Structure 1
Amino acid sequence: MSMVQGPPGVDLRLRYFRYMPANVYPQVAAGVYFAIGVILIIQTIRSKAQAWLYVLAGTAIFEAVGYAFRAACVYETTLALFLLQLLIILLPINAIALFNYKVTGKIISDSLTAKPKYLWLRPKFVYWFYFASDVFSVLMQGAGGAMMGKVTTRAKAKTVALIGLCVQLLFLGCYMTTTVYVWRKPEYIVHAGPRDKSPQAAKRKVMINIISTTTLLYVRSIYRIAEFADNTIYSTEWAFYVFDTLVIFFAFVIYIVLFIGPNFPRKSAGLEKQLSYISVEEANAQSLSTRLTDKDY
């Protein structure tokens, strides 16, 4: 396959990427992310989880498609291929943040005894406020990515993308604060799956999952900000594979190992029984404590 050239003597790979993209790595990444997507689909089906959990599998498959386009760029780089690989790799990751927002919102809304006193703890606010911030971030990053193809607009493109990434970083930090608060409050409980020893253990697993993956998203966002702000980092391919490809890969590994599908089943009536069970256990513990105190006297 012949290499498409721009001006005489200018390789379009250098023009768009600022380096000669390495072979093999994008093919491996595409295969790995596709396998991750398949595994997540199987896990979601087997756990009879709610439909929104398929977002994870869809994100992994989109990543695989993005790296497939990047692999094509190794052999024939065009503006269309460059923009496709850039946008498909850059934007779907925002769906992971959206997924985590949904998890926290579901925990709040499913907890029957919890009555949020603050606006920032209301389920609809948690989901839609962070969803709106995510959409704004996606639009800004998408606009910046689309402008990267032209040398004349590249400086403006970086500024636009930086604004989107900084917004994402800000709201990820706010979301982490909300999630830690929900974790510490016992009134917010999680449906226990077949392998969870108790609702408390289920909640700990879910919280470790979303806090760990959100932290990795934070690392990735910091890298992306540094990449757009510093031409040296932008022109370094190994940093992209370490701080983007590997970081998101580890996030997906966490999602698979600590899979939360069983904690959000389609039929969640069992949550009321678990809540009653917790109340009985707490009442028994309080009664035992009272009897022991009376005995001392």
Structure 2
Amino acid sequence: MVLGRLITFACAESLSPIRTNWLTKIFVSGDVLSFCMQGIGGSMLSRSSSRNLGEKIIIIGLVLQILFFGVFMVTSAVFHQRLAVNPTAVSIMAPWQKYMFALYAVSALILVRSIFRIAEFAEGQGGALQKSEVYLYVFDAILMLLVMFTQLVRGRLDRL
């Protein structure tokens, strides 16, 4: 949603590789599909007979999430490069790049978290990543705290 609004604000729809009215639809749909797959896999974990299949479905959902997220990151980078080369009148006057860099920072944190989640489920229930809470704090909780902090700082910069 942030990327779509930034594209619209900069009057740069022609520079986006994906039309702005499709951005949210595509990436939210991918996220919902991924979430549903993870939920189905999670429900299967409760039954010992389908535990292995449940872990595989969760991993497939997480990989799908990373694929959609990768396409989002490429879309963002292509738009950024195009706007830097062919700035619009609005983009010349507005600090649009700070929003892009905040988007990149948040995206990188979320990507690291997603990769951690794949490793966590690939190891299985007996793996070190699921046995020790420190990994969950470092690669999940702290990363999401940094995402919120980055967005808070970006929001505060808007008021300056």
When the two structures are superposed, what TM-score results if normalisation uses the length of structure 2?
A: 0.83
> Aligned partners of 2:21 and 2:89: how far apart in 1?
16
Q: Which runs of 4+ in 1 moved over 6 A?
A: none
Structure 2 Cα separation of the partners of residues 259 and 215 of structure 1:
19
Query: Counterparts of 1:220 and 1:247 in 2: how far apart (Å)?
Result: 7
Aligned residues of 2:15 and 2:79 also touching (Cα < 8 A) = no
Amino acid at match of 1:182: F
1:139 corresponds in structure 2 to 36
* Superposition deviation, residue 189 in structure 1: 5.0
Aligned residues of 1:140 and 1:164 also touching (Cα < 8 A): yes
Q: Comparing both chains, which one has the higher relative contact order based on Cα–Cα distances under 8 Å and sequence gaps of 6 or more?
A: 2
Match of 2:88 among 179, 183, 187: 187
Aligned to 1:227: 120
What is the percentage of aligned positions where both structures have the same residue?
Answer: 29
* RMSD between aligned residues: 2.4
Give the secondary structure class of the aligned counterpart of 1:209: helix
Residue in 2 aligned with 1:249? 145
- Tell me the equivalent position of 1:87: none
1:243 Cα deviation from its structure 2 partner? 0.5
**Contact 1:183-1:203 within 8 A present in 2 as well:** no
Which sections of structure 2, spanning at least 5 residues, go unmatched? none
Relative to its length, the structure with more helix (as a share) is 2
Cα distance in 1, alignment partners of residues 22 and 90 from structure 2: 19
- Give the paired residue count: 152
Displacement of 1:126 in angstroms is 1.6
Aligned counterpart for 2:8 among listed residues 79, 102, 109? 109
Q: Report the equivalent of 1:167.
A: 64
For the 8 Å contact 1:141–1:161, the answer to whether it is kept is: yes
Structure 2 distance, partners of 1:218, 1:169, is 7
Q: Which structure 1 residue ranges, 5 or more long, are not aligned?
A: 1-101, 191-197, 264-297
Q: Of 217, 220, 224, which aligns to 2:110?
A: 217
Question: Kindly tell me: are residues 260 and 156 of structure 1, through their superposed partners in 2, closer, same or farther at Cα, counting changes over 3 Å?
Answer: farther
Cα 1:117–1:204 shift into 2, 3 Å = closer
Does the residue aligned with 1:121 lie in a helix, a strand or coil?
A: coil
Given candidates 204, 208, 213, the residue that maps to 2:101 is: 208
> SS state of the match for residue 107, structure 2?
helix
**Which amino acid in 2 is paired with 1:211?**
Y
In structure 1, C-alpha distance between the alignment counterparts of 2:90 and 2:75, rounded to whole Å? 15
